[in-house]
């Protein structure tokens, strides 16, 4: 008891920092010295821009004649998107539009689960989310940064059903995401307070380790992992990737002052620092009152943030090694986009060394059902997950063992990868 104790405020800081994802994750085996400056130590990465609630395809990347938004030319002849996205129109050489998503499920939560895992939800069984898959396949096991980070880019309003939070399932808790709740604040409570903190951390760590060895229960392991996570991040110089104040004012302005743009900027910083998968999510796209008015208001910040991300990655020589995907859990019904629509909708991809500057799939062009039916190259949820994994260099034919010695393929065997966009 003569040694310095960990003050309550420091313990609270460690707990906050370590439990941001709600799942404690042991990223390392020892509290090693902090790594040097920002440096990407691994291969391909992915930034998933998730528009929670289901964005309207005909009001974004698949405009229709006589639709509420006019179609505009892009840098690729013959490809048009809505005129509300002029900066993204200038990025089309580096993009691929998948206009023929056909994914079966119109319920928000079940669709989110399906599009994150490639498997339909079963109440008694969990499948790993694609970010957790990327963590397991691309991440470095003893890294001081997580391989998977989620960033909350805000919300128009609370709608779109229950929010899906990625789980690693049978891949193990070390592949759960670290959550950033506000890009402006980054990772809070990670600065050391007091010159004797190292001594107090060492004392607490020894006590935690002894308790964990005597009571090897999941909850105890989770608490130990939370402590490990906080200390490792606290001591890592690479944690400055979460600090947007490190960026020049001009760069922050190019991304836009909306949370979405700043989240895109943080995502770029994180993949540059070595994070394998970043999911930026913005809630509020369940536009039952009609999509036109709400998307017209969103378009400026969405256009600025996503286009700045693509340009910035390209200028830094990172675009071929970084896959950017924009999507939600389904699209919207033909016409005003007031209903859920899983039978024909769009996603937009960029970078990742894809065969860019093209559109895959078509939807109906005219009449009341314009945009409501796939007329060429339907793409399922397993197709999409398989293609994303292949674009990142992940072997989709791997088999894992789930609880009860149940064999599980990484991707559903029905998947047919979209080979026309892969090199």
Domain assignment present for residue 203? The answer is no
Domain assignment present for residue 3? The answer is no
Mean pLDDT of 159-171: 90
45: helix, coil or strand? strand
Contacts of 58-61 with C-beta under 8 Å, sequence gap 24+, read 58/332, 58/334, 58/337, 58/370, 58/371, 59/84, 59/291, 59/292, 59/295, 59/332, 59/337, 60/85, 60/295, 60/346, 60/348, 61/97, 61/99, 61/346, 61/348
Q: Domain range spanning residue 409?
A: 45-187+248-421
Task: Tell me which of 182 and 23 has the higher pLDDT.
Answer: 182
Question: Residue 91 and residue 4: Cα distance in Å, rounded?
Answer: 57
Mean pLDDT of 276-294: 97
Contact by Cβ (8 Å): 171, 398: no
Number of H helices, E strands in the chain: 10, 16
Domains in the chain: how many in total?
1
User: Of all residues in the chain, what percent carry a pLDDT higher than 70?
Assistant: 78
**Average pLDDT of the residues of the chain:** 85
Contact by Cβ (8 Å): 131, 277: yes
Domain assignment present for residue 151? The answer is yes
Distance of CA 102 to the CA centre of its chain: 21
Domain assignment present for residue 307? The answer is yes
Per-residue pLDDT tens digits for 65-82: 999 999 999 999 999 999
**pLDDT over 70 (residue 48):** yes
Task: Tell me which of 42 and 263 has the higher pLDDT.
Answer: 263
Mean pLDDT of 297-302: 98
Of 375, 390, 381, the C-alpha closest to 415 is 381
pLDDT score, position 5: 42
Domain assignment present for residue 211? The answer is no
DSSP category for residue 49: E
CATH number reported for the structural domain that contains residue 312 in this entry: 3.40.720
Q: For residue 50, how many other CB atoms are within 10 A of its CB?
A: 23
Of 51, 56, 50, 53, the C-alpha closest to 332 is 56
Of 388, 380, 366, the C-alpha closest to 413 is 380
Q: For residue 168, how many other CB atoms are within 10 A of its CB?
A: 23
Instruction: Give kind and range of the element (H or E) at residue 71.
Output: strand 71-73
**pLDDT over 70 (residue 7):** no
Mean pLDDT of 282-287: 96
**pLDDT over 80 (residue 216):** no
Instruction: Show the DSSP H helices in 274-418 as ranges.
Output: 292-315, 381-391
Mean pLDDT of 335-364: 98
Q: Looking at 133-142, 149-158, 228-237, 378-387, which range is the least confident one?
A: 228-237
Per-residue pLDDT tens digits for 351-400: 999 999 999 999 999 989 999 999 999 999 999 999 999 999 999 999 99
Domain assignment present for residue 347? The answer is yes
- What radius of gyration do the chain's Cα atoms show? 22
Domain assignment present for residue 217? The answer is no
Per-residue pLDDT tens digits for 388-409: 999 999 999 999 998 888 899 9
Beta strands in 265-364 (DSSP E): 277-283, 322-327, 331-332, 340-341, 345-351, 358-360, 362-363
DSSP category for residue 410: S
Phi and psi angles of residue 149, each rounded to the nearest 5 degrees, phi first: -130, 140
Contact by Cβ (8 Å): 55, 285: yes
Which tokens in the block code for residue 355?
Answer: 């065969």
316: helix, coil or strand? coil
Question: Residue 351 and residue 224: Cα distance in Å, rounded?
Answer: 38
């Amino acid at each position: 008891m003569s040694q310095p104790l960990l003050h309550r405020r420091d313990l609270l800081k460690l707990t906050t920092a370590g439990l941001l994802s709600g799942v404690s994750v042991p990223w390392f085996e020892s509290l090693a010295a902090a790594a040097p400056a920002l440096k990407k130590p691994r291969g391909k990465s992915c930034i998933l821009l998730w528009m929670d609630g289901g964005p309207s395809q005909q009001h974004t990347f698949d405009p229709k004649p006589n639709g509420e938004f006019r179609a505009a030319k892009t840098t690729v002849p013959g490809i048009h998107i809505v005129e509300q996205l002029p900066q993204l129109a200038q990025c089309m050489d580096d993009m691929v539009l998948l206009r023929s998503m056909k994914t079966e499920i119109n319920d928000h939560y079940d669709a989110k689960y399906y599009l994150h895992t490639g498997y339909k939800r079963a109440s008694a069984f969990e499948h790993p989310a694609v970010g957790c898959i990327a963590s397991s396949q691309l991440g470095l096991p003893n890294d001081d940064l997580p391989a998977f980070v989620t960033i909350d880019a805000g919300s128009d309003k609370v709608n779109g059903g229950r929010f899906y939070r990625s789980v690693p399932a049978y891949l193990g808790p070390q592949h759960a995401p670290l959550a950033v709740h506000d890009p402006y604040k980054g990772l809070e409570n990670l600065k050391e307070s007091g010159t004797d903190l190292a001594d107090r951390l060492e004392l607490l760590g020894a006590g935690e380790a002894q308790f964990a060895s005597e009571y090897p229960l999941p909850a105890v392991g989770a608490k130990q992992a939370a402590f490990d996570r906080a200390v490792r991040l606290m001591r890592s110089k690479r944690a400055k990737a979460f600090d947007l104040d490190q960026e020049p004012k001009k760069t922050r302005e190019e991304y836009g002052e909306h949370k979405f743009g700043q989240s895109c900027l943080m995502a770029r910083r994180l993949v540059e620092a070595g994070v394998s998968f970043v999911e930026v999510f913005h809630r509020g796209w369940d536009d039952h009152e009609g999509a036109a008015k709400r998307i017209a208001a969103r378009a400026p910040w969405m256009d600025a943030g996503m286009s700045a991300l693509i340009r910035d990655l390209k200028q830094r020589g990172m675009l071929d090694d970084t896959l950017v995907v924009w999507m939600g859990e389904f699209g919207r019904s033909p016409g005003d986009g007031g209903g859920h629509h899983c039978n024909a909708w769009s996603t937009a991809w960029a970078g990742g060394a894809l065969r860019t500057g093209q559109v895959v799939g078509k939807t109906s062009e005219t009449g009341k059902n314009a945009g409501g039916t796939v007329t060429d190259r339907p793409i399922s949820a397993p197709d999409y997950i398989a293609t994303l994994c292949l674009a990142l260099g992940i072997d989709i034919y791997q088999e894992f063992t789930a609880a009860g010695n149940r064999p599980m393929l990484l991707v559903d065997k029905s998947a047919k990868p979209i080979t026309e966009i892969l090199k």
